[in-house]
Chain A
Amino acid sequence: MRSKYIDNTVIGLSIAFVVLIFADFFMAEWVRFIGLQSLARGAVALGLLILWRSGLVSFGHALYFGFGAYAAAMMTLIGYRDAFLLVFVGTAVAGILAFLLGFLLRRYRGIFFALLNLAFSMILYGVIVKTEALGSTDGFSVLTPTFLGYAPKGEAVQTTLFLFTLAFTYIITIGAHLYLKTTLGGMSMAVRENEIRVEYLGYSAERIIHVKYVFSGLVAGFGGAIMAMAIGQVDPDSMANWTVSGEFVFITILSGIGNVAATFIGALVFELIRTYAFEYAPQFWQFILGGSLLAIIMFLPEGIWSLVARLRRPQKAPSP
């Protein structure tokens, strides 16, 4: 082992981070917008990946995504518009909600866990739709963010927001990667494979799941807050509806759970497929989206990351 912390994933992520910083200044506006959305959705998928590693799938993470987005957007309603503050609030409230609901959800597995999440997310959706003050189904617009006093204008807003998002996403992703290598992170496997054994080793499987659940809530809230600022608008159908949860699961399947970097590649591929499908086949874009999911499941059951893993495997020496 070279180092306890630096490995190929950390190096790869760091290179991608630096490259994207420079690319930010040359990107076409629509590319940057797709990039921003990919980072936001990828962050949510990262949370789902962490849950998935312990065998849990959530069909309701639009709950935390929407909660984070609306919390950030509501801050601008009362006059706060600093991006750091908005992201902090969006992430924190989603994390607190995940912590509280976690006490209930950590007792469920499989389909019950998936659908209980869905149920909670639809409660949030219902509340938003019924609340006139939050614009009901139309939502409301979000003020252009400032960055610690710096108030960019025009294209500079998105350029700065992209850098801002990139930096946070980088930190979160490296953190998630290192976390998965810790004992606590590694216990995902143990919980997925055999909870009885985990209990008889003296550790609570439910506590492990709760930690993961809070993490997934935090990053989903983060993704929601970023999305609210990127689009400049929040509305229930693109923030809190069950279809949004479905997109996150879609991205996670597309990416595979082999590596934290995969979720961002998956999110980008998802955005590209959707954008182009909508552009060239406005009547059939959902058909194309569904078709690509089917193709992934049939030909790459372990997701896009299995392509990378396949490239690397032949060079890997058998472990000593």
Chain B
Amino acid sequence: MTLILEVSDLNKSFGAVIAAQDINVTVHEHEVIGIIGANGAGKTTFINMVTGYLKPTSGQIKFAGRSIVGLKPRDITVLGIARSFQVPQVFASETVFDNLLMVYAIVEESGLGLLAPLYNDQRAERVDAHLIRYKIADYRDANASALPQGIRKLLDIAMAAACKPTLLMLDEPTSGISIDEKFELMDVIMEALRQDKTTVLFIEHDMEIVERYVSRVLAFYQGRIICDAPVAEAMVNPDVREFVIGEEFHRTRTQNDNGAGENNA
């Protein structure tokens, strides 16, 4: 598998607060990686640095072999890293269709092409196909501000995925979603992204979600990565159990009906 993202010795401090310390991560093509960690552990800071929103204090980030430190989010997006947001960032006063039409137009056009009409029938077809894949076609003409939280999340992720990124970073895709809707939402997203052969890196608090969808886990604690291992291994790692999962999580010990966590049966 090709190496696409290489983060080495990454540090970030805000004054006296250390948000990231000696982060070293490599990501290969087609991996699905879960980022776990308590609030304030540095998960979002990590995504913000990779996508150019925050400049690291020191360290190197290489994407597809070239350094992307100091580039702006828009440049990094063009290179092939897209992201979704914990709080969905949509065009709230527009319909779901118009949101994605805008996204497709921006992604597809550049230079003089920007002066071609925003709407054309072929683009509308692509948008509708995208809406179907992300199962939000029922909300096509609904205003983005009036969507249920789960659908708004899906729209946000669908907008990021429409950039056709090599690497997609999802910041808590299931936060604010009820438990019974979470798996449905993740099934839709992961299926669509697998078809696109997109490498995915997502932040998640729910260990059931992590176990079900990811191949590898990065566990953050106080700005450091305390564990970088395949999911089954990470779930039994003592540091992870103590600092990330906490005492209240006993599921992997008591039940292992789930394929990913059965090695400790």
**A binding-site residues for B, Cβ under 8 Å:** 1, 4-5, 179, 181-187, 189-190, 193-194, 196-204, 318-319
Contacts and interface: CB of A to CB of B under 8 A. Distances in A.
B74 A196 contact: no
B106 A202 contact: yes
10 A-B pairs with least C-beta separation: A202-B77, A193-B91, A186-B118, A184-B114, A183-B105, A197-B89, A202-B78, A201-B106, A199-B73, A183-B114
B91 A182 contact: no
B116 A1 contact: no
Contacts of B82: 200
A203 B105 CA distance: 11
A200 B91 contact: no
A197 B91 contact: yes
B194 interface: no
A187 B102 CA distance: 7
Interface string B67-90: 000001111011000110100011
B107 A201 contact: yes
B92 A194 contact: yes
Interface in B8-28: none
Contact count band on B: 35 or more
17 contacts: A4-B117, A181-B118, A182-B116, A182-B118, A183-B105, A184-B114, A189-B91, A190-B102, A193-B90, A193-B91, A194-B89, A194-B92, A199-B77, A201-B103, A202-B78, A202-B106, A204-B72
Interface of B: 51, 72-75, 77-78, 82-83, 85, 89-94, 98, 102-103, 105-107, 109, 113-121, 141, 159-160, 163
B97 to A, nearest CB: 8
Nearest to A185: B118
A28 to B, nearest CB: 41
Contact of A182 (B77, B85, B94, B114): B114
B106 A190 contact: yes
Given A193-B92, A194-B90, A197-B90, A319 B141 contact: yes
Contacts of A185: 118
Contacts of B72: 199, 204
B80 to A, nearest CB: 10
Contacts of B119: 1, 181
B218 to A, nearest CB: 22
A319 B85 CA distance: 30
A202 B73 CA distance: 7
Given A199-B73, A201-B103, A204-B72, 18 more contacts: A5-B117, A179-B115, A182-B114, A182-B115, A183-B109, A184-B114, A184-B115, A189-B91, A194-B91, A197-B90, A200-B51, A200-B83, A201-B77, A201-B106, A201-B107, A202-B74, A202-B78, A203-B106
A188 B265 CA distance: 57
Nearest to A4: B117
A205 to B, nearest CB: 9
B106 A189 contact: no
Contacts of A201: 74, 77, 103, 106-107, 159, 163
B90 A202 contact: no
A140 B103 CA distance: 51
A295 to B, nearest CB: 26
